[in-house]
Structure 1
């Protein structure tokens, strides 16, 4: 269904809940009847009240009706620590009304009459009924309950009021109310091993598109924050890919020559290698080229900012100066219980806000560890990298290989090599009882490059790269042996070191 044909901004009721309006393509539809459902503790009451206070802040008027729920004093006491709670809105703009006694005495008909009368009297633009399951239990037949929902819909259209119905029922058992309402939002609290993650899913939404599937959310001091699933949010990049042909320096002159001028602008590269091979060091060289025209960002999971600055100083790189100049910054997240889409949404927000053009993601497996469902990581990375490309960001990932020495290379994240244009490979080789670091370019899409194996050292002046590595042969088999003495000689760090 075309949005231009069915959706206009003035027909929307924004929720004010960060991320939720994105999922709903702008908010609820005015005069609609929507159900918020989930088990006790899922977050329904917080979500509904957050919408209420946002409506009041926008000049709307709210009637919040409770049925066999917590007392209003207790409800307001629990809401008070949340930043959206504003007592000045009560009772002029937000009115709380208990109608359980009305339901007991007058049944569904009596309750409906009270809702109509009070909504008109308060000129409500939003009506919340908290405890729909109590209404269902009070209905003599399913038909009576459906008629109650139907009458609410008529009421919503007559006075231009949007209605939210809160219930602890589950969508697993589809009741008559699910067929009657305009939309159903369900809140879950998923247990994943020893960890738990909250999730919201739009089960139904008449008259509008929406982002399908589950979306993680958090309950914070500011209320609920919904984190739209990256691969749903960015099914297509936000703009057209400009496909520039410019080159971006890696910060290492010898490596730029291997790459025939540097990394292609707005491309994505990955550095594979075992621990200690120099992956982060190479990334810091890349960031040291940050400037006003190419602001840089380090998005890391393992080494804290003080340790990164210490490492940079040891390499002769002054990233602290770059940060003071406002051309470089860092975002660090300990790889503990993070939410994958929270990381992705934060990264993209900072990239857009600061106009980042050089991005170094140190430890792409940090995303994998944050994924509640690891099988979606390749889809997540595909959506993320596609969006970074169209934003003109040249991105460098590191991905650690588990083995120090190996004949067969197994990539930690399946399919990552197909998502990137360029692959740099770092490895160790043992020769004459010494360890040597080697660098090679494995892949550059649509570009020529030098495929030589290069030895490199990490010094107080940063990375020093040799012309080639002539000390050994059969390196990639994992069983290096000394090269034949008849082989032509070129400059090598191995030769330089033996003098």
Structure 2
């Protein structure tokens, strides 16, 4: 028989009140452990410590904020009042602010240890924040004294189950100080410039007793205080998402149509459910309009859809749909179609991924149209990070059985050869389907052409077809002959040649007229 008395106690977590931080730590801090948060001045350490304390007392705990700096508590609290986590409720019986600066300066580390032991027991504290650990280093007579202080502090807090956070203004290499090796967890805040913008990142170097998301994660200091956004690919890697029945079934793949008869014919009735499609084209070729057709076709089938873009507001999109006669029933649209418009200058790509997946989960989205890639490119510092992000996002959307279209803008307006930038080529390799929209100039007239570049595990019509944009939306030619005439430079009318003319039959062009 197994002696259950020898089984280790279950780990008790302590929430920091910073959702992204708790996600990185797979649930939060561990009760009774000692942690070190370090970083340069201005990184947000004091905000972090106060945010932890205010959240802890709001959930029924008791906290002590001990500062070893010369800054007055009244001044620090005045700065904290601008954040949402600050509470004007009486703090005396739950949150105690103490200054240990004079005790340390005048009586040394032993006296500071006694002060901490006395106050932790007196206040029955379950969170202790010590701000200004560098002052201990400056006042300790030897390295041994610092180690003994840290050991005594750990014994005190572990005995009473008090979780301790040390704040240090270190900006050195890790593991070169006793504080780095003796604590149970080591967190590092950093801030650096990329071009003209400042990027803030947090990294967990160690966290005893638990797994955690490694690497750097972005954070900001906003109205809510510290807001941390774990890397999307790190979060999604650990989430278990069961495969949808459509991917497990041997039955024929369900199709997502556009309600554009000629185009649906080209793609064998629609896009395969759960697939990812890249729509490539230069500005003005109709990428957004094709995506709106896809979403509105879903609304007609009572399938929930999401538009996510960077340049047009929901009001502009609704107005365009109304003008084209798409999704005219406002009640049905409000029930089945969601619009999200994001600034193209967002600095954190994980915010974008979080917004998309939050709506996908909440609304049970089946059709997703992402209008533009530049907003994602602007939010990363390297192509490698973008590739990892997109790979993870695409995999998750497939596993959620979301059929996605992503509009990607090409630069060359009238280049007869299709040359994609390396960054777009990598992204296009991740998708199952590619649709190309392009302009072709013939005799001072622009024509629009559409073609399917690839569809994995599905048959499709590889021909190039002409299409036009009218008052009723996008219309694709019934055959490829009009596109053939345009590409060959011979655009005849049907009366003169018996062939299909360009969709604008009023235009009769002959090569001999040159």
TM-score range, shorter chain: over 0.9
In structure 2, C-alpha distance between the alignment counterparts of 1:439 and 1:195, rounded to whole Å:
39
- Please report how far the alpha carbon of residue 495 of structure 1 lies from its aligned counterpart in structure 2 after TM superposition: 6.9
Which secondary structure does the structure 1 equivalent of 2:108 belong to?
helix
In structure 2, C-alpha distance between the alignment counterparts of 1:434 and 1:283, rounded to whole Å:
25
Give the equivalent residue in structure 1 for 2:288: 280
Give the equivalent residue in structure 1 for 2:257: 249
Give the equivalent residue in structure 2 for 1:222: 224
Listed one character per residue, the Cα deviations across residues 368-405 of structure 1 (whole Å, up to 9, x for unaligned) are: 11213343111111111111111221111000000012
Matched, 1:456 2:467: yes
Structure 1 pair 96/495, CA: closer, same or farther in 2 (3 Å)? closer
CA contact 1:466–1:491 (8 Å) conserved in 2: no
CA contact 1:69–1:131 (8 Å) conserved in 2: no
CA contact 1:297–1:330 (8 Å) conserved in 2: yes
CA contact 1:305–1:330 (8 Å) conserved in 2: yes
Structure 1, 390-399 or 238-247: larger mean CA deviation: 238-247
Superposition pairs of residues 96-115 of structure 1, within 5 angstroms? 96-115=97-116
Structure 1 pair 495/311, CA: closer, same or farther in 2 (3 Å)? closer
TM-score for the superposition, normalised by structure 1: 0.93
In structure 2, C-alpha distance between the alignment counterparts of 1:119 and 1:435, rounded to whole Å:
77
- Please report how far the alpha carbon of residue 154 of structure 1 lies from its aligned counterpart in structure 2 after TM superposition: 1.4
Give the equivalent residue in structure 2 for 1:240: 242
Superposition pairs of residues 346-361 of structure 1, within 5 angstroms? 346-361=355-370
Specify which of 274, 278, 281 is matched with residue 266 of structure 1. 274
Listed one character per residue, the Cα deviations across residues 63-90 of structure 1 (whole Å, up to 9, x for unaligned) are: 1100124211011111112121113251
Structure 1 pair 43/63, CA: closer, same or farther in 2 (3 Å)? same
Matched, 1:45 2:46: yes
In structure 1, C-alpha distance between the alignment counterparts of 2:191 and 2:158, rounded to whole Å:
34
In structure 2, C-alpha distance between the alignment counterparts of 1:466 and 1:238, rounded to whole Å:
44
Superposition pairs of residues 311-390 of structure 1, within 5 angstroms? 311-318=320-327, 321=330, 325-390=334-399
In structure 1, C-alpha distance between the alignment counterparts of 2:411 and 2:485, rounded to whole Å:
21
Listed one character per residue, the Cα deviations across residues 140-163 of structure 1 (whole Å, up to 9, x for unaligned) are: 111211121111111122111110
Structure 1 pair 267/290, CA: closer, same or farther in 2 (3 Å)? same
TM-score for the superposition, normalised by structure 2: 0.90
Matched, 1:394 2:403: yes
Superposition pairs of residues 134-213 of structure 1, within 5 angstroms? 134-172=135-173, 174-213=176-215
Aligned length: 491
CA contact 1:270–1:398 (8 Å) conserved in 2: yes
CA contact 1:288–1:319 (8 Å) conserved in 2: no
Instruction: Name the Cα RMSD after superposition.
Output: 2.4
Which secondary structure does the structure 2 equivalent of 1:468 belong to?
coil
- Please report how far the alpha carbon of residue 318 of structure 1 lies from its aligned counterpart in structure 2 after TM superposition: 3.2
Which secondary structure does the structure 1 equivalent of 2:297 belong to?
coil
Structure 1 pair 89/190, CA: closer, same or farther in 2 (3 Å)? farther
In structure 2, C-alpha distance between the alignment counterparts of 1:231 and 1:198, rounded to whole Å:
18
Which secondary structure does the structure 1 equivalent of 2:468 belong to?
strand
- Please report how far the alpha carbon of residue 498 of structure 1 lies from its aligned counterpart in structure 2 after TM superposition: 3.7
Which secondary structure does the structure 2 equivalent of 1:129 belong to?
strand
In structure 1, C-alpha distance between the alignment counterparts of 2:200 and 2:105, rounded to whole Å:
35
Which secondary structure does the structure 1 equivalent of 2:86 belong to?
coil
